[in-house]
Amino acid sequence: MSGKKYKIRTLMGKDIFKISKFIKKLGINKLQAIFSDNELSKSINNIVSHGENQDIAEVGKIVSVFVSTVIDGLCDVEEELNELLESVSNLSKEEISELPFKDYIGMVKDLFMQKDFMDFFKHIQTLFAKV
């Protein structure tokens, strides 16, 4: 027995809508803006191409942009995330919000790392590749 207080069920077609709503509200499109920014793109390329000889100022700039983007998004999605977790698990939103931090993060990770979730995005990518 794993000792987890929750169980994540297999994803179904109806889950696409809650997942999409969550991702949209998270602001994933902000990442597109980051990669479209010429200055940030140059910094990312410099970091990748210089390996161990990275400019710490450039690394710090990139890390701060990504961290602030994630935090900005997380501040807006508490309700949607707990609603999504409730719909795919055996716990209520109230029980989910009361989980210890480590268990809450584990639950989110278990949802987003499950094969069905990854397959959904691979399928979407395949559809767009055909277009």
Whether 32 is covered by a domain: the verdict is yes
Whether 125 is covered by a domain: the verdict is no
Task: Tell me which residue range forms the domain holding 79.
Answer: 15-100
Region of 54 on the Ramachandran plot (φ > 0 left; ψ -120 to 50 alpha; else beta): beta
Whether 45 is covered by a domain: the verdict is yes
Whether 77 is covered by a domain: the verdict is yes
Which has the closest alpha carbon to 70: 124, 122, 108, 114? 108
Whether 5 is covered by a domain: the verdict is no
Work out how many domains the chain is built from and give that number: 1
Whether 128 is covered by a domain: the verdict is no
Write out pLDDT tens, residues 78-100. Answer: 999 999 999 999 999 999 999 99
What is the pLDDT at residue 131? 56
Tell me which residue has tokens 């480590």. Answer: 102
Those residues whose C-beta lies under 8 Å from the C-beta of residue 36, and which sit 6 or more positions away, are none
**One-letter amino acid identity for 101?**
F
